Amino acid sequence: MSLLNQVLFGVYPYICLAVLVLGSVLRFDREQYTWRSGSSQLLRRRQLVLGSVLFHVGVLVIFGGHFVGLLTPIWVFDALGVSHGAKQILAITAGGVAGVMCLAGGLILLHRRLFDPRIRKTSSFSDIAILVILMIQLMLGLATIPLSMQHLDGHEMVKFMTWAQGVFTFQPGIANAVADVHPIFKLHLALGMTILLLFPFTRLVHMLSAPIWYLNRRGWQLVRTKRAMPIQPQAAAPVYPQKTDAVWPSSTSAFKTRR
């Protein structure tokens, strides 16, 4: 068993998961105003809608499929009477369709981000880099399909489930589970973990906003005004930041009504 394999699939997963959790908590705690999708919808909408719908539907199906497929204990599938072969075929078909949708949508989004000068200007290095990395990961994922078709009984897939579940249950020597799989699978697993590592430092964090905020719409709204100050009754006027960004709770209608 090579040392590289041990490090990549026995140690690296824990580094990535630790950075994912701690990094996300710290970013949420210290830099909440950067916790957003950084939408460029205002700059060019039509291409965004098509690309975004394809990308997001595809990626949500893939994430759901990966989560359930890799982390559901194998005995659950056995108890439900779902054979390994049936699960492998489901992963190939549903994952394949979702992967193609996601790739098509992502390439539209990447094209828009690279070739629309205004959107390019407002994009950070990480906005572009993470999209490129996701596209590479998708291509690697799709490249696993012809390999998976060579073992439709699902025995390779069981290795990935054993590995993923072994990581979460701290099984020693768990890297051995994937020691002999095809290098394309290994690249896909390694880049997948790297995406988890980068997650807190990119706009991907907005994924966590849905469960945290959107359900009851708490949070903050950044209001930019050209006025020196929002109009307030003089006597009661509190001190607001002048000629600068004023931050208001989104639940407050005071600013709107007094404008």
Footprint on this chain of ligand HEM (rule: CB under 6 A): 59, 62, 65-66, 88, 91-92, 95-96, 99, 102, 134, 137-138, 141-142, 144-145, 148, 157, 160, 188-189, 192-193, 195-196
> In the block, which residue shows the tokens 């998708």?
138
Min dist CB 258 to ligand HEM, Å, is: 45
Among residues 40 and 88, whose Cβ is nearest to ligand HEM? 88
Alpha-carbon distance 191 to 174, whole Å? 18
Min dist CB 88 to ligand HEM, Å, is: 6
Among residues 35 and 55, whose Cβ is nearest to ligand HEM? 55
The region that residue 219 occupies, defined by phi over 0 for left and psi between -120 and 50 for alpha, beta otherwise, is left
Among residues 51 and 141, whose Cβ is nearest to ligand HEM? 141
Alpha-carbon distance 31 to 181, whole Å? 40
Quote the strand ranges of 90-136, DSSP E: none
Min dist CB 185 to ligand HEM, Å, is: 6
Among residues 20 and 223, whose Cβ is nearest to ligand HEM? 20
Min dist CB 133 to ligand HEM, Å, is: 9
Among residues 18 and 222, whose Cβ is nearest to ligand HEM? 18
Among residues 31 and 180, whose Cβ is nearest to ligand HEM? 180
Alpha-carbon distance 160 to 157, whole Å? 5
Burial (Cβ within 10 Å: 0-12, 13-18, ≥19) of residue 99:
buried
Q: What is the DSSP string of 172-214?
A: TTGGGGGTTS-HHHHHHHHHHHHHHHHGGGSGGGGGGHIIIII
Q: Which residue is nearest to ligand HEM (CB)?
A: 95
Among residues 159 and 225, whose Cβ is nearest to ligand HEM? 159
Q: Integer distance in angstroms from the first to the last C-alpha of the chain? A: 69
What one-letter code names the amino acid at 242? Q
> In the block, which residue shows the tokens 């997001």?
56
Min dist CB 111 to ligand HEM, Å, is: 18
Min dist CB 175 to ligand HEM, Å, is: 13
Min dist CB 163 to ligand HEM, Å, is: 8
> In the block, which residue shows the tokens 């399909």?
145
Degrees, nearest 5: CA angle 76-72-187: 140
